[in-house]
A = this chain, B = another copy of it.
Amino acid sequence: MSQFISKKNFEQLKKLAYKTLKVKKGMFLFQEGQMGQNFFVVLSGKFQISKFSGDGKELCLRLCGPSAVIGELMIFSDNGRYLFNGRALEDSEVLVIKNEDIEKELLANSEFAVEFLKMMTDHFRKQHTKFRDLVLYGKKGALYSTLIRMANSYGIQTKDGILLDVPVTHQDLANFSSTSRESVNRELNTLKSKGIISFKGRKIIIHSLDYLKKQINCEGCPSSYCNIE
């Protein structure tokens, strides 16, 4: 169950859904700029939330697994356009909820409204920390931040260190860090030569999460914000 919303309110969201939708791997559930009246709750599979820049680069913001709420930012928006792209990384299934239905429900049920507001502010703080890492600590900071987040979301503790158990390419990491594949490659190899990380096949093992955290002043941040979801 997501850390965002209680089981009870997750059930409530389920009730509000008017259909479920299967999304094939690689397909867009929604795209930035597109009009739409729905948002979604992931039931199975995985989605990547991203944003395209003018010159075709893609900035990745979230990886969303089961029970994540996505496409939710347009609720109460004037113009009803999605801000991001949501693409299925695997064959996936989602609940579809009409914005007007949730708006009604929020008015009718203030306990639910508060829970939902809580989720939104949480989400906001999470996005904010990502923002901070990107803007205040440069490309390197963004990469470190991405590694830390992936460790918190997909890391498996082994005696060797934390194994990032997701199939990510250097290009993927670059997209999450608004930098280039080559820079990611070089920086990862620098980290490896320092003994901070190592590779196991294509996957990354982090030996010193602390080192990465220190570089971006990450000490105080509650780890619930520090993930990639």
Which residues of A come within 8 Å of B, CB atoms?
33, 51, 53-54, 57, 59, 73, 75-79, 81, 83, 103, 106-111, 113-114, 116-118, 120-122, 124-125, 127-128, 131-132, 134-137, 178, 216-217, 220, 222, 224
- Do A113 and B108 form a contact, CB below 8 Å, given A78-B224, A136-B53? no
What is the minimal beta-carbon distance from A38 to any residue of chain B, in angstroms? 16
- Do A83 and B128 form a contact, CB below 8 Å, given A106-B114, A111-B107, A136-B178? yes
Give the CA-CA distance A137 to B24 in the complex, in Å: 32
CB-based contact A132/B73 at 8 Å = no
Cβ of A108: which chain B residues have Cβ within 8 Å of it?
Answer: 110
- Do A51 and B106 form a contact, CB below 8 Å, given A33-B220, A121-B76, A128-B83? no
11 residue pairs of the A-B complex, CB under 8 angstroms, read A54-B136, A54-B137, A54-B217, A59-B135, A59-B136, A77-B125, A83-B128, A108-B110, A127-B128, A134-B134, A135-B135
What is the minimal beta-carbon distance from A159 to any residue of chain B, in angstroms? 31
Cβ of A54: which chain B residues have Cβ within 8 Å of it?
Answer: 136-137, 216-217
Cβ of A137: which chain B residues have Cβ within 8 Å of it?
Answer: 53-54
CB-based contact A121/B73 at 8 Å = yes
CB-based contact A51/B110 at 8 Å = no
Oligomeric state, in copies: 2
Give the CA-CA distance A109 to B81 in the complex, in Å: 29
Cβ of A57: which chain B residues have Cβ within 8 Å of it?
Answer: 136
Which chain B residue lies CB-closest to A78?
Answer: B222
Cβ of A216: which chain B residues have Cβ within 8 Å of it?
Answer: 54
Which chain B residue lies CB-closest to A129?
Answer: B83
What is the minimal beta-carbon distance from A49 to any residue of chain B, in angstroms? 12
What is the minimal beta-carbon distance from A82 to any residue of chain B, in angstroms? 11
Cβ of A122: which chain B residues have Cβ within 8 Å of it?
Answer: 76
